[in-house]
Structure 1
């Protein structure tokens, strides 16, 4: 029999009412429905254009979806965006999202739901430090100890204007040991060794099988950089190049439930597949059986050389992983189209 192939489930095209749909997160509800939250922009496609957090729900495995509904309206002076959904060990679902006020003020907030996203609590700040903190969508994790980790990149800004905003990111983490009710900054942070325009941007974290925490960040050095923590994200070893060759584009990594492998989704610029230098294409998947030391089986999910694929979220349902990602191009803009695709386990490991 032929190998099952990836199946597109949903494409949210830009429109006059929503010129950009991007940066989503997915969670499976207790009754089996798929719940998608994402950034819905209303006045343009720039990162600081007006935006809301919208939701769509599917009761048939992603074949059909409800119309969009507003989950969080604009709370900051600029917007809200970059959502993470996380089911924690209490059974609650936590909703995280960025609130932007200026080039010098961006923080992550969370609301919690004990009734499968029917209602949400008042918000709590998960990055209680001054400054502009970038936290990508679908980034918050819970460790086996119960600790929650928010990986963030601080971008210094002297006066709150674009003119003094620094693109050179400083990776740090925010930690909670009471299931998200209170938060504190990690004891150490990470700077890019040597010269770099980007520094360490848009970090992500995943727990390794030996209990260490693995952190990766996008850079302008031709690859993701990596670091390790042996104390649950409190302190970090010096960042170094990882095996993941990439442009200045984020990677997404999660633990595969079937085999305890790690799964990465990123723009593979190792040379295994054709790629236009500097562009966020192709979008590829690979797995690691040795906790991120090596990655094997890179496969192209999206290969349009004019495409722009990034900001991937993932959730595992049955024998598939469901991905949501920006899938723009030169016609609609790189970040303005959101796509959801089901990837069968069979295809991933074929």
Structure 2
């Protein structure tokens, strides 16, 4: 009996060794396979509000926690659409507060669009947003908060020709170069162009780079920026061509390669991406394409994919897959503690927040 028991233990140890060997080599061969995420929080930022619809959320981390913002009102394009914000404390999300609107004077008001929050290192929390009658005619606005989103400065219009980050967050390169991903939409059908706005004084002044594509082969908007250890930058953008588009920069965003399709599908809807602390790239996107004869497709399912090189992507999680439904315009950041924070439109009824823990 003792001999059999000893042999059994030896065989069991051998099996564990083999499993560990193959698992270890698999992780070494493909770091994407080692990334596992676990949902820690999944909740609506608000259940009831003074406005019926909401869309295009953004999220930032401050020294005190999380701040989210979005546009809300009767419906997109309505003059009453304003920017609302909520702060997350230990008790949960605060009731939405209006922090910006498009009031021009006593008789004229325009809708607000696409807020973007960015916490300047050792500085203030910035809120970029757009105001205007249409997407083609809007202009960029900015506010600042010195108390982590509790109160805000008066709105300032950005200089002519600058729009600020159009949907997704700026990225700080080399601790000194702030790059805001931006784009324009022409009144000409689907003349969409990506450009970048670069600041070397942490957002006090900006200069424009682009549009990036000389060939203008693809209509692309709403880019996000990823960075790599070798200094390269990658842009991922929404397109009207069934796939997320990619472009690369080797000189800190000054010049960019011609955009090309990735393997990631896109139904002509916004995405967002972030470079993780472990070097992997992560994107939140709608895993669908345009419907035949239409300019867009279903904005469901909403998925997460990761990549080591920005070319080969692996889907690792499904946030939403209800059909029909709209789960769209995600915003994603990674907190200082390594947790991944995501907000997105939930059927235009509210904004949903999900926190994921990265399990090594």
Q: TM-score range by the shorter chain?
A: 0.7 to 0.9
Q: Confirm whether residue 308 of structure 1 aligns to residue 326 of structure 2.
A: yes
Contact 2:243 2:264 in 1 (8 A): yes
Q: Cα distance, 1:166 vs. partner?
A: 3.5
Q: Separation in 1 of the partners of 2:207 and 2:164?
A: 16
The 5 A counterparts of 1:223-242 are 223-242=243-262
Contact 2:288 2:297 in 1 (8 A): no
Partner of 2:93: 65
SS in structure 2 opposite 1:236? Answer: coil
Aligned-residue CA RMSD in angstroms? Answer: 2.7
SS at match of 1:253: strand
Task: Check if 1:166 corresponds to 2:189.
Answer: yes
Displacement, 1:136? 4.0
Tell me the TM-score normalized by structure 1: 0.79
Q: Which residue of 2 aligns with 1:183?
A: 206
User: Is the 1:127–1:174 Cα contact (8 Å) retained in structure 2?
Assistant: no
CA deviation profile, 1:45-66 (whole Å, cap 9, x unmatched) = 1235421111112211xx6222
State the 1:171 CA deviation: 1.0
Q: Distance in 2 between matches of 1:118 and 1:11?
A: 16
The change in CA–CA distance for 1:193 and 1:102 in structure 2 (over 3 A counts) is closer
The Cα of 1:254 is off from its aligned counterpart by 0.4
Residue 101 of structure 1: how far off its partner (Å): 4.0
Counterpart position of 1:7: 41
1:97 and 1:48 map into 2 onto residues whose CA distance is 16
Aligned counterpart in structure 1 of residue 342 of structure 2, from 291, 312, 323: 323
**Paired residue for 2:270?**
250
The alignment partner of 2:343 has SS state of strand
Shift of 1:9: 2.2
Residues 83 and 98 in structure 2, CA contact (< 8 A), matched pair in contact too: yes
1 or 2, which has the higher helix percentage? 2
Which whole-Å deviations, capped at 9, do the CAs of 1:36-92 have from their partners, x for residues lacking one?
222122xx21235421111112211xx622211121132454122311111222342
Is it true that 1:29 corresponds to 2:42 in the alignment? no
Offset, 1:127: 6.2
Moved more, 167-176 or 99-108: 99-108
CA distance in 2, matches of 1:5, 1:216: 25
1:59-138 equivalence runs, <5 A: 59-60=89-90, 64-75=92-103, 77-102=109-134, 104-126=136-158, 128-129=160-161, 135-138=165-168
8 Å Cα contact 2:212-2:257 kept in structure 1:
no
Choose from 287, 292, 299 the match for 1:280.
299
- Aligned 8 A contact 2:128 2:142 in 1: yes
Greater C-alpha radius of gyration: 2
Q: Which runs of 5+ in 1 are unaligned?
A: 158-164, 271-276, 329-334
1:123 CA displacement? 4.0
How far, CA to CA, are the matches of 1:212 and 1:299 in structure 2?
27
Q: Count matched residues.
A: 313
Distance in 1 (CA, whole Å) between partners of 2:262 and 2:323 is 24
Task: Tell me if the contact between 1:11 and 1:340 (Cα under 8 Å) persists in the aligned partners.
Answer: yes
Residue 263 of structure 1: which of 282, 292, 311 is its match? 282
For 2:71 and 2:257, the matched residues in 1 are separated by 33
**Deviation for aligned residue 1:138:** 3.5
Whether the 8 Å contact between 1:170 and 1:191 is mirrored in structure 2 is: no
Partner-residue secondary structure (3-state), 1:117 = coil
Equivalents in 2 of 1:65, 1:187: separation in Å? 39
